[in-house]
Copies of this chain bind each other. A is one copy, B any other.
Amino acid sequence: MPIAQSVKKALSSSSMIRKMFEEGRVLKEKYGDANVFDFSLGNPDLEPPEAFHKTLLRLVTEDAAGSHRYMPNAGYQYVRDALARKVSREHGLALDGRHIIMSVGAAGALNVVLKAVLNPEDEVVVCKPYFMEYRAYAANHGGRLVEAAAGVNFNLNVDAIEASLSEKTAAVLINSPHNPTGRVYPAETLAALADVLLRHGKKTGRFPYLIADEPYRELTYDGVVTPPVLCVYPHSIVASSYSKSLSLPGERIGYIAVSPQNADVELLVDALIYATRVLGYVNAPALMQRCVAELTDLRVDIEVYARRRAAFKRVLDAAGLDYINPEGAFYIFCRVPGGDDTAFTGLLKERLILGVPGSSFGAPGWIRFAYCVSEDLINASANKWPGHSDT
């Protein structure tokens, strides 16, 4: 076997989302971009804000000496300091630059965190549905996922998480605003989860980390504010990025933030820096670090996504499809008529509408649509849906 057996196995059941991405490309070549309603991939089509372009252009024009060299593995100190101020505002407690490690996107951040904390056979609890790459991320570092059942309307199910904890639990991994449902977990749910984790820690002597994957934190609707995580539990770690909030997914710039209330914070940070180094990231890309440090208060125009969300809801309402009202992110999670999400995804594909079956997130009977595409495309899909009266 010329490749690793685990990789061979994974390839044969590889990412449904990326598969849809490839299929979408083939369909678009055949039918033209405007005739394929590709709602499969969370690849933001919004350009970064104008202020990003101005900052990037100024930094590149200035071209400071030494600005492309190695810096400490955790990132430039002034960048870490700037991010610490942002995270302090968002998470309701005072971090400083020591509590920030710059990363290669949120996916890089999660791999660094799991490398730093997982012992062989350790467990990472996730709540269904969840982003399927988490399984591979845990496996990369010798861990394995334990799935907890979804809560009512896909809220976090604290009871199910509590029932999933064991002495092998190294971490509980949550994601809010949530992919694929758009749910934002309420503050009281996070407080209840923190209680459970503290109780478990006191009982077993091992406090599971609470890892919050939150690249969508700043993308919320109707005045919803993503509740803070770091201030509710001392063993919490945030993994985030500028992929969604500044529409920079290709540039791979993100960060890790740890709670300063963790008594072992220095050791944890040392482990995160070590993992950043030996996993081969070495450091987050230098130019993008310098860029985002100046733009910590900036985000893409959320109103554009809000209009698309409204348009998508109108389309689904007209098609008679039931869905979870998204409070954040840019996904809408629909109940599949009849319950067979694979069959329904196939049926939609024949109509050139692409979504991702809920089974890919551990939620059969549902389908995810991404609305990080133009409002025109969403509206143009209206008469293509199976439930529509014209069809």
Contact = CB atoms under 8 A, between A and B. Distances in A.
Interface of A: 1-8, 10-11, 14-15, 18, 41, 43-45, 47-48, 53, 56-57, 60-61, 63, 65-71, 73, 104-105, 107-112, 115-119, 133, 136-137, 140-141, 235, 247-252, 262, 264, 267-268, 270-271, 274-275, 277-288
A36 to B, nearest CB: 17
A304 to B, nearest CB: 15
B247 A7 contact: no
A228 to B, nearest CB: 22
Contacts of A277: 15, 18, 133
B57 A8 contact: no
Given A3-B116, A4-B119, A117-B3, A280 B250 contact: no
Contacts of A141: 4
Q: Which of A4, A71, A73 has the most B CB atoms < 10 Å from its CB?
A: A4
A7 B287 contact: no
Contacts of A278: 10, 133, 136-137, 140
Nearest to A243: B70
Contact of A281 (B53, B108, B116, B118): B108
Given A69-B45, A274-B14, A252 B283 contact: yes
A249 B69 contact: yes
B68 A249 contact: yes
A159 to B, nearest CB: 26
Nearest to A122: B4
A3 B268 contact: yes
30 contacts: A2-B235, A3-B264, A3-B267, A4-B116, A5-B119, A8-B271, A15-B277, A18-B73, A43-B70, A45-B66, A47-B65, A48-B68, A56-B60, A57-B60, A68-B247, A69-B247, A69-B250, A104-B104, A107-B282, A111-B279, A112-B280, A115-B140, A133-B277, A140-B279, A250-B283, A250-B287, A251-B287, A252-B284, A252-B286, A279-B279
Contacts of A270: 3, 11
B117 A282 contact: no
A364 to B, nearest CB: 23
Nearest to A7: B271
A78 to B, nearest CB: 14
B68 A252 contact: no
A269 to B, nearest CB: 10
A10 B68 contact: no
A289 to B, nearest CB: 8
Given A104-B104, A251-B287, A271 B63 contact: no
Contacts of A18: 73, 277
Contacts of A105: 280, 282
A285 to B, nearest CB: 5
Given A108-B280, A252-B285, A287-B287, 8 more contacts: A2-B268, A7-B116, A8-B271, A11-B271, A45-B66, A53-B63, A57-B61, A68-B249
A68 B283 contact: no
A61 B112 CA distance: 34
A101 B66 CA distance: 28
Given A4-B119, A60-B56, A281 B104 contact: yes
Contacts of A2: 117, 235, 262, 264, 267-268
A271 B4 contact: yes
Contacts of A60: 53, 56-57, 60
Nearest to A53: B63
Nearest to A271: B3
A10 to B, nearest CB: 6
Contact of A69 (B43, B63, B268): B43
